[in-house]
Structure 1
């Protein structure tokens, strides 16, 4: 039995006051196990971004509990949240969020430095991850000197270099063209299968979602449906995703 790394236990998130309450998350529960690659999909306003934010400790729940690595993050003192986030979560953003004044190597190293990894160990850790993700030859370049796909692979390296419990990917292909998006998704698969990364990805894109192993569909703050790829081909899984999106009433015009 694989280790449960993330447990979402009857969480709710309300906005507004008692006369005008919006339920962004309405009693959601699920678990994520070590080595899973899970996609979260839903139309705008379905609650998927709010879900990502409360798991990331960027926002707080109104009720319920979230356990990450066995620790209840809803009970962590605000002063300790930043450190907990750095040690347990990796992030891949749509806009890369790389520091333009640092080389790719320095961008990756920085993630280790703020986690107080001994300086002597950093170059070896960076080289290992860079080799795995195919960016070793461009580590001395700055973000402005490389392609969008290379920037995103650097962002992936930075996200995984500290070996977090879960990597959170927020619309990671949203700023990429089709070719770069495919390369990134193949990179995420490599991270998941070769580096044993546990990934939770929020996306509106059926093409990106078809690379995941399990997908949760949200509607009106609730889990509307869940599908598992299993032994299906990616093409078959893509078709199944489109079928559920049709049931959801989603806009398929954005699908690659």
Structure 2
């Protein structure tokens, strides 16, 4: 469906600074290193953008919260990048800061180099004592509803759907998992890709002492080693549930259905 300026403006999200009525982020590429000692993520996010029909945007405005922005670069062809100017607005206690990036004519990609804050509202850093194994730290984001902006500079609105890919680096023997297909399982470097558009708050990550146990060819459980076997037993009926759903509604569209069981100090519950 073609995006027009009028339809985009009708769906303006008052909890986002994004100029989605002028330009939309369509794909997000993450290249991040997990630093458990400093309790930060550092690296870069590349945003592939698309102008709204009939608009020639001169800037991209994305949402941030407590991010230290090192540089912004823009590209017309997605290959050659050049530094561009950016402005980080004063922070609002609820919405964070608007990051405004100047766009050269015809720009198709923007890259932001940055690091998060130890106090990032969307990143939960667990000490070893808060895990089941008690040996290693653990990280997971809680991006709902508007906390993705605290670890990714993007248009943090559910009205902006994106695909994404990621390279996540962690120290051995830790592992990273995401809400996406795993392309490379490390060690130290993990690669992911999701080719179905989702709202930004569903970009999920976990890093820690994580094991995997298969339930079937397309389902399985990620959890700490001490609980993964019991977790797989708890969810042993997941594949049969998928089969029943497929009999009613057609083939499951997401390929795999894997479940992440978080450490016992995880304070939320739900699925989407």
Report if TM-score (shorter chain) is over 0.5: no
TM-score between the two structures when normalised by the length of structure 2: 0.27
TM-score, normalising length: structure 1: 0.28
Pick the structure with greater CA Rg: 2
Normalized per residue, the structure richer in helix is 1
